[in-house]
Structure 1
C-alpha cells in the first residue's frame, strides 16, 4: 500500500451516515437535506461550509467508504468525474456563477479533514475569496434550498441533465 489510513479508531464517517440513511453521530455537520442525489457509485451532497461572501458548494463522494484518491477504483473515479461535470453544469443553470472550480484533498498534509474521499465543486464569482480560506458555516436551511435548486436544474426544466449510467437511487 502506498499510503496509510489516517482515519482514527472508531471513526464515525459523516458521509457514510448520510448516504446510508444512518443515525447521525454527535459531530456530524451534515443534514439529511444535504443529499442532492445518489447513484450506485456516487452521491452529490451540499457542503456545510461556504467561503467568502457565498455559501453553497457541492461535494461528489463515493457511496462506498473510500478514504482517499488512492483508494478509488476506475469505475468509481470515472463516476466521480462524470458527476463533477454534471453538477458544475447544473450550477451554471441554477445560480449563473461567473465560473466553477473543483478541488480535492488527500491526507492531513493535503488538507483532508473528513476521512472519506470528496471532490469539491464550487460556483465561482470574482469577489468570492475562495482561496483566502474565509470558511464559514452555511445554515441547513440555505443548504436545503440550494440542494432543491440544483435538483431542479439537474432533473427538470428546459435543459435536464442526462442521468448517469448507474441511475438515481434517491
Structure 2
C-alpha cells in the first residue's frame, strides 16, 4: 500500500451516513437535504462550508467508503469525473457563475479533513477569494435551496439527457 489510512479507528464517516441513510453521528455537519442525487457509484452533495464571498458548492463522492484518491478503482474514478462535469454544467445553468473550479485533497498534509474521498466543484466569480481560505459555514436552508436549484438544472424537462457543454448559452 502506498499510503496509510488517517481516519481514526472509531471514525463515523459523515458522507457514508448521508448516502447510506444512516442516523447521523453527533459531529456530522451534513443534512439530508444536502444530497443532490446519487448513482450506483457516486453521489453529488452540497458542502457545508462556503469560501470567500459566496456560499454553496458541491462535492462528488463515491458511495463506497474510499478514503483518498489512491483508493479509487477505475470505474469509480471515471464516474467521479463524469459527474463532476455534469455538476459544473448544472452550476452554469442554475447560477450563471463566471467560471468553475474543481479541487481534491489527500491526507492531512494535502489538507484533507474528511476521511472519505470528495471532489469539490465550485462556482467561480472574479471576487470570490476562494484561495484565501475564508471558510464559513453555509446554513442548511441555503444548502437545501442550492441543491434544489442544481437538481432542477440537472433533471429539467429541457434537459432529459445528461448535460453537455453545448447546452450552455455562449
TM-score category, normalised to shorter length: over 0.9
Superposition CA RMSD, Å: 1.0
Q: Is this contact kept in 2: 1:86–1:161, CA < 8 A?
A: no
Aligned match of 2:49? 49
Alpha-carbon offset, residue 161 of structure 1: 4.8
Aligned match of 1:15? 15
Where structure 1 has 5 or more consecutive residues not aligned to the other structure, the ranges are 164-170
Q: 2: distance between equivalents of 1:41 and 1:158?
A: 26
Q: SS of the counterpart of 1:43?
A: strand
TM-superposition CA deviations, 1:24-74 (whole Å, max 9, x none): 000000000000000000000000000111000000000000000000000
Q: SS of the counterpart of 1:7?
A: coil
Aligned match of 1:35? 35
Alpha-carbon offset, residue 162 of structure 1: 1.4
Alpha-carbon offset, residue 159 of structure 1: 3.2
Q: SS of the counterpart of 1:100?
A: strand
Q: 2: distance between equivalents of 1:147 and 1:160?
A: 18
Q: SS of the counterpart of 2:29?
A: coil
Aligned match of 1:115? 115
- With the length of structure 2 as denominator, give the TM-score of the two structures: 0.94
How many pairs does the alignment contain? 163
Q: SS of the counterpart of 2:113?
A: coil
Where structure 2 has 5 or more consecutive residues not aligned to the other structure, the ranges are 164-170
